[in-house]
Structure 1
Amino acid sequence: MIRLATSALALSLLAGAAVAEPVAYDFDKSHANLSFSYNHLGYSTTEGRFGEWEGTLLIDQDAPENSSIEFVIDVNSLDTFWADRDKHFLSADFFDAEKFPQASFKSTAVEKTGDNALKVTGDLTIKDITKPVTLDVVVAAIGEHPMAKKPAAGFAVTTTLKRSDFGMDMYVPYVSDEVQVTFHAETIEAAVSN
């Protein structure tokens, strides 16, 4: 009887471990950058970034498929390092930021594809147009942060979008339809609230 009870206890502990909840991580915005680049007329590469965004990240190290991310971008925080171009990009010709001030991404699947590699599939919404997108993720580091002394994770994320998919086809094909998006970030395990 004691052996049976001990076995039941062990199984319940194992079952509890198997269904452990993913852990929330906070973005360290002082060590993060959401940027993009595109080809201009075949002569140059133009770059830009979004300075304001919020992300919700849940990580399950043991079962990465249970991880998830949601992201909301303030479109008006766009910066291409040239004020007139920023104004044009925020106009109705492109982002129409007055009408659509936010863009968002919500993951639908996470797949481990290598020792430090993931594919994150999700829905990207720009100008109320939603399209499936796959992000290639390289896990730069995961472990105890040497300064914060807390669990931390760092990522390099890349994907290529077609801006015409989101109703922004002005000057295609002379100005590239394809836009390369890159996101670098450090994250720290979130404090547990009581």
Structure 2
Amino acid sequence: MIRLSAAVLAVALAAAPAIAEPVAYDFDKSHANLTFSYNHLGYSTTDGRFGDWNGELVIDQETPANSSISLTVNVDSLDTFWGERDQHLKGSDFFEVTAHPTATFVSTSVEKTGEKTLSVAGDLTIKGVTKPATFDVTINAIGEHPMEKVPAVGFDATTVVKRSDFGMDMFVPFVSDEVTISFSAEALQAK
């Protein structure tokens, strides 16, 4: 009787669904873009991007609060598609790249807000100044990647920050204080 009960318990445990755990993902940088935009004098929107960054992404589909993301950005990789403006933005009036070569974002909480949406709060550090920032995230797809045949995720994330909070207030309010940061990415489950 004891052996039969032990055998039934073993079969039941083996048949029970596995408890999901957080899973690490690697960014596919060929399908990822970290950009920013701001209003110029009320006439136009100026866009830029950072071409060099690294990140860590951990996803817990069952319990999104256990998920996390961190990014480290090489600020010198800034590109607004106009060389003179790039040099000005990298200089002492704005990013001071020589003194502050990196910017970072480290999540502190992840909250599911809808069927395919999340709110990801964290600490954004630019020019040595750390302020809270919250990204609104839309999950575009999560599942097996059709080409790579491994678990994958794709998402778009946006937030708005005030550049003056990070010591970059030149030309405010004529050039907008508010800057939209957008991050669109695909990531594949880490091997």
TM-score normalized by the length of structure 1: 0.91
Aligned equivalents of 2:10, 2:167: Cα separation in 1: 58
Task: Give the 5 Å matches for 1:83-162.
Answer: 83-162=83-162
- The 1:5/1:180 distance shift into structure 2, 3 A limit, reads same
- Number of matched pairs: 189
The C-alpha deviation readout for 1:118-160, integer Å capped at 9, x for no partner, is 0000000001100011000000000110100111000000110
Secondary structure at the residue paired with 2:97? coil
Q: What is the alpha-carbon root mean square deviation over aligned residues?
A: 1.9
Aligned equivalents of 1:78, 1:68: Cα separation in 2: 25
Give the match for residue 174 of structure 1. Answer: 174
Secondary structure at the residue paired with 2:142? strand
Aligned equivalents of 1:173, 1:10: Cα separation in 2: 66
- The 1:53/1:44 distance shift into structure 2, 3 A limit, reads same
User: C-alpha displacement at 1:13, in angstroms?
Assistant: 9.0
For structure 2, the residue ranges without an aligned partner over 5 or more in a row are none
The reply to whether residue 51 of structure 1 matches residue 48 of structure 2 is no
Aligned equivalents of 2:15, 2:119: Cα separation in 1: 31
- The 1:12/1:51 distance shift into structure 2, 3 A limit, reads same
Aligned equivalents of 2:172, 2:15: Cα separation in 1: 58
Letter in 2 for 1:151: P
- The 1:78/1:23 distance shift into structure 2, 3 A limit, reads same
Segments of 4+ moved more than 6 angstroms:
11-14
Secondary structure at the residue paired with 1:81? coil
The C-alpha deviation readout for 1:24-74, integer Å capped at 9, x for no partner, is 101111111101110000011101000000000001111111000010000
Aligned equivalents of 1:64, 1:179: Cα separation in 2: 27
TM-score normalized by the length of structure 2: 0.93
Give the match for residue 66 of structure 1. Answer: 66
Identity across matched positions, percent: 62
Give the match for residue 35 of structure 2. Answer: 35
Secondary structure at the residue paired with 1:76? helix
Letter in 2 for 1:104: T
For structure 1, the residue ranges without an aligned partner over 5 or more in a row are none
